Copies of this chain bind each other. A is one copy, B any other.
Amino acid sequence: MLVKELIASIGSNKVSQTESDLYNFSKDESSHTPVEPDVVVFPESQEDILEVLKIARKFHTSVVPYGAGSGLEGQVIPIQKGISMSFERMNQVVEFQHEDMLITVQAGMTRLQLNEFVNRHGLYFPIDPGADATIGGMTATNASGTTAVKFGSMRDQLLDLKVIMADGKVIHTGSKAKKSSSGYHLTGLFAGSEGTLGIITEITLRLHGIPEHTIAARCTFKTIEECASAAQTILMSGTPVLRMELVDANSIKQVNEYGGYSYPEEASLFFEFSGSRLSATEDAETTKLVCTELGCQNFVTAIGSNERALLWKARHEMAYAYRHMKGMSSTGADVCVPISKLPQMVEYARKLLDESGLHGGTFGHVGDGNFHTIVMYDPTKTHEKQKADHTNDQLALLAISLGGTCTGEHGVGLGKKKFQLQEHGEALMVMKQMKNLLDPMNILNPGKIFP
């Protein structure tokens, strides 16, 4: 009945129940258990989405927006089955205001599509989670990545969202002004709400000028704690870095094997500096000086764009290098803590990994206190999965007790629900009240965020 009404309403070419579609929309890149939706819809317009929502309300069926499926916490898994809503046909530029360095895109446009479009105008969108996620998905999870130390998270780059509410209301959450003190800040509220408060259909983003000059660099220290301390010193010095990534020896080894690289298999920092030629060079030199004083064993800079691309390719392949180990599953912590707590967190992560006897590593965006600990396990062995989950849990709990968060950038989805009360306390009740207010039938991505 549901499917019939969908077909009657938006047309059969936008509704699918093929085996491959149901399978594709059952999962993301995490190891959370897939669940197939009852049906997948491929809206091509706001009107289509409004129709789907009307039918969802009628049948009391869940609607789960789906971007590129590159999420890591099961946000797009339709755990109550129902309707998965693909944004792959809504991936166009709505308006490009070159002179204002603004663009409005549909939610299904991916990060690389966006950059391909704006790069030829000398502009770029800097948020870089590694995967070629959709802008809608990145907004819904408040994604960030290697450039967060300079550009923050998605939320910091948003000016306006067009959102379709559960009741069919269509709202704009902001405007095209670079700042505003007018009314409540709904833009920030919908960003990171993982499709639970409304369906984000259009996003207005700040763009940035492509820097004149960029320098990449890497260096190694004896221990990962020394890396974390060096990162803290660089931040305190006020030297502007575009990226500053920490990678432990295990992870370097892993990516060397995966990608055929030959990086020194030691605790490492990877950097990127950008700006004018003069300022980028100065920043790289200041950083080199700080690292050398703190006992860094080498400091290699890469200026040519191929050389830089290779270095960052390796860093971006890190998660894949683990996740694509044959026959293995992985679980990943995504904690973010005040920078001064990083050495303690990183040490604890290594201790937990050692105790578990499982394979894994630590790497992440040390510039903002966010780092990942990936733990590999054999999914056929229950005790390995338990140990991996235990490691993950202990890291989240320590991060929260140190004033941090259980998720710096992956979002809550299914995997971090159990930490929400611990992290937010009474505020979780306020969040839940808002969910009930804006989606009283609980049809928008139900079962996510709230425990």
Q: Which of B179, B279, B437 contacts A153 (CB 8 A)?
A: B179
**B370–A179 touching, CB < 8 Å:** yes
Chain-B contact segment, one of A98-106, A256-264, A378-386: A98-106
Contacts of A423 in B (CB 8 A): 175, 182-183
Name the CB-closest residue of B to A338.
B100
Interface string of A23-63 (1 = CB under 8 A from B): 00000000000000000000000000000000000000000
Complex CA–CA separation, A232 to B369 (angstroms): 35
Q: Which of A153, A185, A337, A428 has the most CB of B within 10 A?
A: A185
CB distance from A205 to the nearest CB of B (A): 13
- A307: CB under 8 A from chain B? no
Complex CA–CA separation, A428 to B183 (angstroms): 8
Give chain A's interface residue range (CB within 8 Å of chain B): 35 or more
**B430–A186 touching, CB < 8 Å:** yes
- A414: CB under 8 A from chain B? no
Instruction: Knowing A279-B275, A431-B186 are in contact, say whether A181-B338 is a contact too (CB < 8 A).
Output: no
- A327: CB under 8 A from chain B? no
Name the CB-closest residue of B to A336.
B177
Contacts of A235 in B (CB 8 A): 101
**A369–B177 touching, CB < 8 Å:** yes
- A425: CB under 8 A from chain B? yes
- A236: CB under 8 A from chain B? yes
Contacts of A302 in B (CB 8 A): none
- A: residues with CB less than 8 A from B are 97, 99-102, 141-144, 148, 152-153, 155-156, 165, 169-173, 175-189, 191-193, 197, 208-209, 211-212, 232, 235-238, 240, 275-276, 278-279, 282, 286, 334, 336-340, 368-370, 399-400, 403-412, 416, 419-420, 423-431, 433-434, 437-438, 449
28 example contacts (A-B, Cβ-Cβ < 8 A) are as follows A99-B340, A100-B339, A165-B430, A169-B426, A169-B429, A169-B430, A171-B426, A171-B430, A172-B427, A175-B400, A176-B404, A177-B369, A177-B370, A177-B399, A177-B403, A178-B336, A178-B368, A179-B369, A182-B412, A182-B419, A183-B412, A184-B197, A186-B427, A187-B188, A188-B189, A276-B282, A278-B278, A279-B279
